Chains A and B, each alone.
Chain A
Amino acid sequence: MRKAFIKTLIEIARSDPRVMLMTADLGFMVLEDFQRAYPERFFNVGVAEANMIGLATGLASCGYLPFTYSIATFATLRPYEQIRNGPVLHHLPVRIVGTGGGFEYGHAGPTHAALEDLAITRIQPGLTVIAPADHLQAATAIRATYDLPGPIYYRIGKNEDYTVPGLEGRFSLGRLNLVREGKDVLILSIGSITAEAFAAVESLSADAIAATMGVVSSIRPAPFDDLCELLPKFRLAVTVEEHYTEGGLGSLVAEVAAGCGSGCRVLRLGARTLCTPKLGSMSYMRDASGLSRDRIAASVREALQDIG
């Protein structure tokens, strides 16, 4: 998705001179094409995320559309107060790009695992939060939103080539996208982990469990109407996210399920703790958090049995 992001940004920058790119010294072998194409609109600010957001806020107040780039943890957590008191409070078009949500940095360990970025961003008023599921959707989402008036957080995954079958690059702000329809269970996923969730849906289908699967990439504005329509049709909704089970997609769906009186049970799958002493590859870490395709499918089967 990072390649799709930079390719799309280069295309947008060609026709929109307001677009700029800033990085806090990350994105080696990703951002260079932009730097070559628009050297006067590219700034490596050094390892200084707080300053980067402040600079972007000042630039945005003068009419620029600055994209700030770093690994998702550093892009959001380190300068969180700058984001809150800057582009959020002043409603300015700063675009915060965080790469590699969840366990995508694998062995890099807990400092690089963004497991709360969606929670802390989606509670900020007027901050649009988008986590595309694949590179086609990332390109569509960036094109569709890059010049919205307020600030945006994009969580951009590291998977480059995978595409979610049936998604076909669709994206609409405040909507979810259905990629599979079935009557037994509703599965909702966000971001790169959609690859695992979709594989789980296929394996359930082999066991004659028919799932409806929705990809939520616009978590704020949230797809309230779509969720309110879908949730009452199911006894069980399962959320899949590479994020703590608190505060992200699972929390959103639970809020809506309760709020619209759906009667639907919500099972939230996601990271439960960061305090594991063991490190591993992305696949290992996902599996350890119950987010591999097999473990997602097993959790769904078990939950369906529980509710009878």
Chain B
Amino acid sequence: MKEPITPHAIRKLILEQSHRARVGHIGSALSIADIIAVLFGEALHLPGIQDPQRDRFVLSKGHAALALYAALHLKGIINRAHIQSHCTDGTLLGVHAEHQVPGIEFSTGSLGHGLAYGAGIALAARMSGAPFRAFVLLSDAECNEGSVWESIMFAAHHKLSNLIAIVDNNGQQAFGKTKDILDLSPIGDKWRAFGWDLREVDGHSLPELRRAFKEIDTKSGKPHVIVANTVSGKGVSFMEGKVEWHYLPLTDELYASAMKEIESAK
């Protein structure tokens, strides 16, 4: 079943499924709901999940897989029964993104792997003269991983302008605030200093996200990074910016309250 891929619909599915399955990572998934909505709603060229000319999307922050499952469901790639199987025994839809799921290109969950894979895709497209692009969504704390910077250097040196990284800059990581744990700010300047074309946007503003993706010039001679400033748990006030919602599952009471807030914000 195809439905409009709206942030609202994605957030509802994230809450519904995480509540049913009693699993966490809700804050991380809500953080990227708007980015995912714009990507799967319009920015990605996806004529078919096996089409060789499709844009490749890699969710490098694999722990936010629920947002991706939601988009794949709304796009009609995975059905209702499929998404209902999330985190049940024998499912393909686990906590982290897994390539056995239709529409998921690359298994993630261990941070720091997605950008190199995306750079390889971008290089393959260029070598074969194909028009497809590679989009990689990373978390800000994922940039703690040294391997990310290896890929950043390679992509700039080889002018992979068909590679687009999006950094979900929610300022939060597993133990607290990124500024307290390993401060990366100003993160956009760091990418730019390494030779990337930088755009900084409000990661919850659809017009800003749309404009940023539209402006991507695959002939620019530079890889592109969109630093999306976000709030973890966005849309559910008691979760926003709270580290515990990296882990906690929803009780029935909190689920009802979160859904009410999401519905009223529609």
Contacts and interface: CB of A to CB of B under 8 A. Distances in A.
B113 A58 contact: no
Interface residues of B, number: 29
Contacts of B110: 81, 85
A64 B52 CA distance: 13
A62 B105 CA distance: 11
A60 B127 CA distance: 13
Interface string A48-67: 10110111111111111000
Contacts of B128: 62-63
A54 B120 contact: yes
Interface in B146-174: 146-147, 150-151, 153-154, 157-158
Nearest to B122: A58
B107 interface: yes
A58 B154 CA distance: 14
A50 B127 CA distance: 21
Contact of B116 (A46, A57, A62): A57
A218 interface: no
Contacts of B112: 50
A14 interface: no
A86 to B, nearest CB: 7
A45 B150 CA distance: 9
A54 B116 contact: yes
B106 interface: yes
A40 interface: yes
B118 interface: yes
A230 interface: no
Contacts of A45: 154
B223 to A, nearest CB: 13
A53 B116 CA distance: 8
Contacts of A55: 116-117, 119-120, 123, 151, 154
B93 interface: no
A143 interface: no
Contacts of B116: 50-51, 53-55, 57-58, 82
Contact of A57 (B117, B150, B158): B117
Given A40-B127, A48-B154, A82-B147, A54 B115 contact: yes
B141 interface: no
A204 interface: no
Interface bin, chain A: 20 to 34
B125 interface: yes
Given A51-B119, A58-B119, A85-B107, A64 B154 contact: no
B13 interface: no
B250 interface: no
A54 B125 CA distance: 15
Given A46-B154, A48-B154, A85-B107, A56 B120 contact: yes
B256 interface: no
Contacts of A63: 124, 128
Interface in B64-96: none
Given A53-B116, A85-B113, A59 B154 contact: no
Nearest to B119: A55
Contact of B134 (A48, A53, A58): A58
B121 interface: yes
B176 to A, nearest CB: 25
A89 interface: yes
A58 B107 contact: no
A190 B35 CA distance: 52
B99 interface: yes
B107 A89 contact: yes
A67 to B, nearest CB: 14
Nearest to B134: A58
A133 B214 CA distance: 55
B201 to A, nearest CB: 26
B120 A82 contact: no
A90 interface: yes
Contact of B125 (A62, A85, A89): A62
Nearest to A89: B107
A54 B106 CA distance: 11
A61 B110 CA distance: 19
Interface of A: 40-41, 43, 45-46, 48, 50-51, 53-64, 81-82, 85-86, 89-90
Interface of B: 99, 105-107, 110, 112-113, 115-125, 127-128, 134, 146-147, 150-151, 153-154, 157-158
28 contacts: A41-B127, A46-B153, A46-B154, A50-B116, A50-B146, A54-B117, A54-B119, A54-B120, A55-B116, A55-B154, A57-B117, A57-B120, A58-B116, A58-B118, A58-B121, A58-B122, A59-B121, A59-B123, A61-B106, A61-B120, A62-B120, A62-B124, A63-B124, A63-B128, A82-B113, A86-B117, A89-B107, A90-B106
Closest CB pairs A-B (n = 3):
A58-B120, A54-B116, A62-B124
